[in-house]
Structure formats: C-alpha cells, structure tokens
Chains A and B, each alone.
Chain A
C-alpha cells in the first residue's frame, strides 16, 4: 500500500527550463513533507521540506508547493541545470512519527 506516490518514473527537461516533479499522498494525517535527491551509488540527500501549515517553501532554485486539499505536492526547479540530473524522492511523515514514507522516485534528466 503505497501512501506516497510519484506517478512519473522519469522526466527530461532542457537546461535552463523549469522542472516540475509531482507527488501525491493518501494519508491525510501526513503533516511534514520532504524531497530528497539521489545520485547513483550514493545515499539520498535532503533537498527541501515543507510543513503542512505552509503552502510554499523556497530555497534558491528549488520551490516546493503543497496543496493539502488535493493531497499533492510538487517540486519546481528553475532554472534546471545538468547537475540536477538525479532521482528525486518525495517523502512524508505524520505528526512527529518516526517513520518517513517514501515515493518510488522520479528520474530527472536535464539535457544540456
């Protein structure tokens, strides 16, 4: 039972354009969301997070948007750079719980 879903396994974007990665969740009790980036043969690294009390959080080229009514969040990367090419995982947690539930990941390829 996948509580966090990333329905696009892959995405290709031209360098300089916007990348939009999407994530849906089913558990309405989730109140904290994170995005992780993973390069091959490395562990995931934290990118950006958002609490359910907000609908947007921005950090440089990365912005995460949260739509609680739709149980949907998205990660925007602008402008996209070739070094952004990686697998991006969406994750969610509930009320200070100890577990993070991860999506299946989206492989982003930024074409120079």
Chain B
C-alpha cells in the first residue's frame, strides 16, 4: 500500500529555473494538498484540490501552480524558482470526513526538500 508518493525527494535549483514536484496517491481520496514547511515553522498550505479538475489557493500560493487532471495526481509547478522557495514540500490527501469514524485526517507523503541557489 503506497499511500502518498512524492518525487523527487531532493532537488537543487538555480534561481529562475522551473520544476514540477510530483504527487500521486492510491487511496482514491478526493482531497489533495500541497504544504510547505520552513525551518521552525508550521506547515503552510500552498494549494489544494477537492477533486479532479478543481483547485484552489491556500495561504501561500504565490510562485506556484497546480493542476488536477486525475484523482490520483496533483503536481506542483514552480515556474521561476526563487531562494524564498527553499523549503520542504509535503503533499497530502484525505477522504471526506463524514462521521466520527472517519477522522478525515491527512495522509502525507515523505516530503521533497528543495533548495534554490
């Protein structure tokens, strides 16, 4: 059971380069999320999606784009990398919380550490 899979785990970018962080989940979850975690900080929401074809901005969307063409995949695109985007990125998914038995908790990937120099 793979859960949430993120690639790559590590990447170094030069300022102005572009890249895509990949995220795939095999739990048939409708909801998917991208968070970033800076040192000593909590996780901040970048973008989220409530289903295929639907995406919305979170707290810190500037400099990023997402797409959700399938239920399984939710890639995060950085168009013009900046040093401020140096962070650890986490993708997560969850099922719809319908009752007390379904806690609706997020399932996280292992993270992608991105450094922009």
Contact = CB atoms under 8 A, between A and B. Distances in A.
Interface of A: 2, 4, 6, 9, 32, 34, 36, 41-46, 49, 51, 89, 96, 98-105
Contacts of B48: 98-99
A98 to B, nearest CB: 6
Interface stretch (B62-70, B71-79, B108-116): B108-116
Contacts of B90: 43-44
Interface of B: 4, 31, 35, 40-45, 48, 50, 56, 58-59, 90, 92, 97, 100, 103-111
8 contacts: A46-B105, A46-B107, A49-B104, A98-B56, A99-B48, A101-B42, A104-B41, A104-B42
Q: Which 4 residue pairs of A and B lie closest in terms of their CB atoms, listed nearest first?
A: A43-B108, A46-B105, A102-B42, A102-B43
Nearest to B113: A41
Contacts of B92: 43
Contact of A99 (B4, B41, B58, B111): B58
Given A44-B106, A100-B43, 18 more contacts: A9-B40, A32-B104, A34-B103, A34-B105, A41-B111, A42-B110, A43-B110, A46-B103, A49-B103, A89-B42, A89-B43, A96-B97, A98-B50, A98-B56, A99-B59, A100-B106, A102-B43, A104-B41
